[in-house]
Amino acid sequence: MAHVALQKLFFFRFGSAVINSLRAHQYSRLLSTTARRGVKLSTQLTVDELATVKINPERLWNTLHETCQWGQGQRWGKGETDVGMSRLALSDADKQVRDWFVETTKGLGCHVSVDEMGNIFAVRPGRKPGPPTYAGSHLDTQAKNKPTGGRYDGILGIHAGIEALKTMNDHDIETEFSTGVINWTNEEGARFPQLMVASGVWAGLIPLERAHSLGEVSGGTATQKSELERIGYHGSVRASHKTNPIGAHFELHIEQGQILESSKARIGVVEGVQAYRWYTITVTGRDCHTGTTDFQSRSDALLTAAKLILHSHNKATELGCLASTGILTLEPGSTNTVPGVVRFSLDMSSKEDQKLRALEDSLKSDFAKIAAGEDIGGVNALGTRGKGCSVEWVTDADSPSVKFHADCIACVEESANNILDARSDDQVLRMTSGAGHDSVNVSIRAPTAM
């Protein structure tokens, strides 16, 4: 089993991280660009020969941090790389790193295409036609001036894929079907507020027109389409899994949590991704003067919103889910004026779709009652009851829980064990990802694992 599986995979290693792809007949495999003297066909490599194919960790590390010059955020430490990132999707910095991606992959012999959502497909041709196997992730980061905008979130997955292509060239390795790397547009949803939007369009889950018309969070006039056109990445290729089919998709990613650290495991084999939903909640009351309006006469939208946010936390705790608010805006925004309108984001997630539905149903009922002054969970037990507010929900994103492909999961797990020479399960841990990734959308249309 190990001998067969190892002959089918494309792998790379960075510290304790590993990503693999398979596909001999059904799945595609990583390939070299040309037939030439000394070329080794991947399917004919022995286990011992494959063991000698290793990436260049120093090259990977240096290249990753060199590209972080585009979109630097705030410094958070004294180390050379202790600088956050603020490379928002379709910004000037994003254009610069995209240009680097295109130039680099073309230099490795890849055919590069850009679709209508700016997704970049770099394909390294193989001997036979068929959907390529890709390493895919994203180069955009979290918001401007956040020192915690990461250097590895998404970025590592792209660089690891490129390093794998370089390693295949270094060793003159050729495989049967094409392989490559995908840079998915706007995975973060930090500037244009829809997570994994471009991979969603590719998968047929999000209409192209809706994605193109999505405006930026800051309230400016830019849309995703206008910015794609501005930076020169509004491609002519249709953004569709039918136009750009994928044989298999693998994504190397940092955990973004503490499960691996606390368990002492080195590699997480991701079996799937938990469900999540994003909402914009609008609380409407009536703005009034703070000094001349007593508590009983107020319809305080901000006070009500605060109670709703607290209740969402308490109810999520009760049901074993997560609920968080990261954006809050209010009108009119004056020290001596009670806010009349408040909008806040609500991000809810759970490993189980049923629990998430239960949380949504409960909060929709409870929010209306709390806003009207009824005491639910103690949030209206203290203070003075006012005149009440109305509550409106808008769904911004809805992603059900996802289970990845069993063969892909097994391939990643087996390779991880081989690379770590693991004799027990303590170094390799099967887990569920708590964050959304482009692999969630891709898994609807192609075998996928992380």
pLDDT tens digits for 72-101? 988 888 999 988 899 999 999 999 999 999
One-letter identity of residue 109: G
Mean pLDDT across 417-437? 80
pLDDT at 144: 62
| pLDDT tops 90 at residue 421 | no
Question: Is 250's pLDDT higher than 60?
Answer: yes
Q: Which of 64-68, 148-152, 414-418 has the highest mean pLDDT?
A: 64-68
3-state secondary structure the chain: CHHHHHHCCEEEEECCEEEEECCCCCCCCCCCCCCCCCCEEHHHCCHHHHHCCCCCHHHHHHHHHHHCCCCEEEECCCCCCCEEECCCCCCHHHHHHHHHHHHHHHHCCCEEEEECCCCEEEEECCCEEEEEEEEEECCCCCCCCCCCCCCCCCHHHHHHHHHHHHHHHHCCEECCEEEEEEECCCCCCCCCCCCCHHHHHHCCCCCHHHHHCCECCCCCCCEHHHHHHHHCCCCCECCCCCCCCCCEEECCCCCCCCHHHHHCCCEEEEEEECEEEEEEEEEECECEECCCCCHHHCECHHHHHHHHHHHHHHHHHHHCCEEECCCEEEECCCCCEECCEEEEEEEEEECCHHHHHHHHHHHHHHHHHHHCCCCCCCCCCCCCCCCCCEEEEEEEEEECCEECCHHHHHHHHHHHHHHHCCCCCCCEEEEEECCCCHHHHHCCCCCEEC
**How do residues 366-375 score in pLDDT, each as one tens digit?**
999 999 999 9
Identify whether residues 219 and 299 lie together within a single domain.
Answer: no
- pLDDT at site 7: 29
Global pTM value? 0.79
Does 345 share its domain with 432?
no
pLDDT at 19: 34
Give yes or no: residues 280 and 427 share one domain.
no
Instruction: Among 3-7, 20-24, 190-194, name the most confident range.
Output: 190-194
**pLDDT at position 8 over 80:** no
Same domain, 171 and 279: no
Which of 399, 415, 437 is at the close of a domain?
399
CATH number, residue 207: 3.40.630.10
* Per-residue pLDDT tens over the stretch 329-356: 999 999 999 999 999 999 999 999 999 9
Examine the domain organization and report whether 226 and 159 are in the same domain.
yes
25-41 per-position pLDDT tens digit: 233 333 333 344 578 88
Indicate whether 205 and 316 sit together in one domain. no
CATH number, residue 356? 3.30.70.360
Boundaries of domain holding 343: 275-399
The average confidence (pLDDT) of the chain is: 88
Domain end residue (candidates: 359, 381, 399) = 399
Binned at pLDDT 50, 70 and 90, residue 422 comes out as low
281 and 248 part of one domain: no
CB neighbour list of residue 27: distance below 8 Å, 6 or more residues apart: 8, 21, 133, 247, 248, 407, 408, 447
Higher pLDDT, 416 or 446: 446
- Same domain membership, residue 198 and residue 281: no
What average pLDDT score do residues 183-202 get? Answer: 94
pLDDT at 412: 92
- Characterize the bridge pairing of strands 72-75 and 248-250: unpaired
Q: What is the pLDDT of residue 24?
A: 32
Q: What is the total count of domains within the chain?
A: 2
Is the domain of 279 the same as that of 269?
no
Q: 214 or 148, which is more confident?
A: 214
CB hemisphere CA count around 196 (13 angstroms): 24
Q: Look at strands 83-85 and 72-75 and give their pairing.
A: antiparallel
Q: Are residues 386 and 421 in the same domain?
A: no
Q: Mean per-residue pLDDT for 196-213?
A: 97
Cβ neighbours of residue 390 closer than 8 Å, sequence gap 6 or more: 283, 284, 285, 371
Residues 218 and 351 in one domain: no
Q: What is the pLDDT of residues 272-331, one digit of tens each?
A: 999 999 999 999 999 999 999 999 999 999 999 999 999 999 999 999 999 999 999 999
| 327 and 441 assigned to the same domain | no
Residue 23 predicted with pLDDT over 90: no
Q: How much of the chain, in percent, has pLDDT values that exceed 70?
A: 90
